[in-house]
Amino acid sequence: MNVLITGGAGYIGSHAAQRLLRDGHTVAVVDNLSRGHRAAVAALQDGANGGRLAYAEADIADRAAVEGLITAHGITVVMHFAAFASVGESAQDPLLYYRNNVSGMIALLEACAATGIERFVFSSSCSTYGQPPEHLIPTPEDCPQAPISPYGMTKLHGEHLLGHYAERCRAAGRPFAFAALRYFNVAGADRGGRLGEDHDPETHLIPVVLQAALGRRERVAILGTDYPTPDGTCVRDYIHVEDLVDAHVAVMQALRPSDARAYNLGIGKGYSVREIIDAARAVTARPFEVVEAARRPGDPPRLYADPARIEREIGWRASVTDLHTIIASAYAWFRDHPTGYGA
């Protein structure tokens, strides 16, 4: 297939591009490098294997650039990863998130309409669920979507945009299928060592803990130790980035005309903050300071996926569920790239 990957110089997008190239697909990456990395594109070019890679440094809001890329490379499928994805930042600057995540997606769908794109795989989020009630954990896809952050709201708007656009296509007799993939926590790195996670600032727990283990941070703060969980800390679902990418490829291949699908992507169980810290200490064999701090507003005690629907309908399930294995892949990347893609 010929696939356009938006945000393909970022963490998840680059891993998706690498997988598709290894499978022999033609991949066109568009990224404005505001959060992505030119070195990630270079790593993709070095390891393209049987696939063919094209790259355009452009914003998804630039319709002419996107339409030109789609037309030049005969694109038939879009995987859309280009979004800002920090809950805290979205609360501080909601307009930035609406401009990039919502307005950018509108422009992208306009480009899809102009070029006849028939399949669309959307990077959504469990943040669209907000704080699911306790009886809906593990969380299924029919859990009410009630975001509590601007980030989560922009992802829900993205799902709504796709739904409305698909309805218009059906009414006009045009084939268009989409899937919204709601991620829980994504972690780990390419086990071949080419690609990894490089955010500035870094807010995700596993990279933060590993940076402390490598001496790049003074300490790790546990935000809340009095939650109603076995060890008092928050419990989350961590899916390995390569498993996440496998799910995207499986969904892309399974989409049929007029499909409108939604799937939760996770391993179906949770690990606590203390379990993450203990596993990181075991994997790295390095000491680091841990301090206890107050809860962060809006953090639910437990949040993990019920991935039964995607396994039932497509046959996908996560293959990497051992916490030590997930952390070891991330640690290898951070150890060998101490300044990320700047190394």
Q: How far is CA 321 from CA 48, 157, 266, 269, 296, in A?
A: 28, 31, 9, 9, 27
Q: How far is CA 57 from the centre of its chain?
A: 20
The span from the CA of 184 to the CA of 12, in Å, is 13
The span from the CA of 301 to the CA of 232, in Å, is 9
Q: How far is CA 16 from CA 3, 31, 119, 248, 284, in A?
A: 10, 14, 16, 8, 27
Query: What sign has the CA pseudo-torsion 338, 32, 6, 43?
Result: negative
Residue 177 bridge partners (DSSP): 119
> Is 151 known to be catalytic?
yes
- Termini Cα distance of the chain: 33
Cα radius of gyration (the chain): 19
Q: How far is CA 216 from CA 199, 203, 278, in A?
A: 14, 14, 18
The span from the CA of 48 to the CA of 194, in Å, is 11
In 3D space, the residue among 113, 90, 77 whose CA is nearest the CA of residue 248 turns out to be 77
Q: How far is CA 68 from CA 86, 111, 112, 145, 150, in A?
A: 30, 9, 11, 36, 31
In 3D space, the residue among 64, 34, 69 whose CA is nearest the CA of residue 53 turns out to be 69
Active-site pick, 129, 151, 238, 271? 151
Q: Could you give the 3-state DSSP secondary structure of residue 185?
A: strand
The span from the CA of 12 to the CA of 23, in Å, is 17
Catalytic center residues: 151
